[in-house]
Amino acid sequence: MSIQEAIREFLQYLEIEKGRSAKTIDNYGHYLERFVVYSKIKAPADITEVLIREYRVWLNRQPGTKVGRNIETMKRRTQNYYLIALRAFLKFLRKRGIESVSPERIELAKVGERHLDLITEAELNRLLDAPDVKSTQGMRDRAILELLFSTGLRVSELCALSIDDVDLSRDEFSVRGKGDKVRVVFLTEAAKRCIKEYLASRKDMDDAMFVQYGKNAKNAKELRLTVRAVQRLVKFYAAKAGITRKVTPHVIRHSFATDLLGNGADLRSVQALLGHANIATTQIYTHVTDSHLREVHKKFHSRK
């Protein structure tokens, strides 16, 4: 079996048996193709420990983000994406009995804790109040912002919503997230009210929860709002609200998590609400919400 045939079968396995999203499959295909171009291998058996080590050195020297006039090398977290894809491919080969190097020979690079982009409570309130709700588009935008903060939805999950997915007579609905996992999310009264007002003002018959307006709607193949469009509108209202730092739909998701933890919610519950497969992913929020540590420092530090 050639390396290209093996990769093609692996990507089909991810799609059919593992149920991975189209974006994940595309990313894995990109990472593996880059490995093949670098290594020039013809078959899975050509992958060796020495080759992987040399590939890691090569990745570590690749250009990454530009800082000022300097271009930094590829971040270790990004390098790990390439290694994770390669390791998953090697596990697939072993499962199918195809000869290659052991996936256990790949260790990921150590990375520091993720930095959280957060906004203050006052900034969040200004952001939520920024849309002008005199128009249907403004009502839509206010409903989007309230729904993001009410539920902690990922932007892709929000854009995939259809009107029938959300029963406004209840405070909860189910959403299908990463890995095709279903979880329950909950609506605040503010979110319910904004969604009701927005839907009541709509004149179209599209089944999407959030649709496009203006010239974008005229040129679009479908009315459903795209991820990029939601990212742009969040950026627009952040600027309108006078927030100078970068604000994205994911920052609102961070605010959702820190708000719950800061008000006493337990980590396991927040993990379930966010749809995190691993609680370690949720733990990144704890160091910014642990008010107990603040009180300990205040009470016991010698220099009052």
Rounded CA separation 52/59 (Å): 10
Would you say the C-alpha torsion 191, 265, 114, 34 has a positive or negative sign? negative
For residues 170 and 185, is the Cβ–Cβ distance under 8 A? no
**Residue listed under structure tokens 């749809």:** 275
* Cβ proximity of 20 and 89 under 8 Å: no
Beta bridge partners of 224: 211
Strand-strand pairing, 70-73 and 182-186? unpaired
Cite the active site residues. 154, 178, 250, 253, 276, 285
Q: Angle at Cα 64 formed by Cα 60 and Cα 66, nearest 5°?
A: 140
Measure Cα distances from 104 to 11, 54, 87, 98 in Å: 20, 17, 8, 15
CA distance 268 to 283: 10
Identity (one letter) of the amino acid at 114? R
Q: Look up residue 61 and give its two tokens.
A: 């020297």
| Distance in angstroms (rounded) separating the CA atoms of residues 91 and 94 | 5
Instruction: Report yes or no: 244 and 235 within 8 Å, Cβ to Cβ.
Output: no
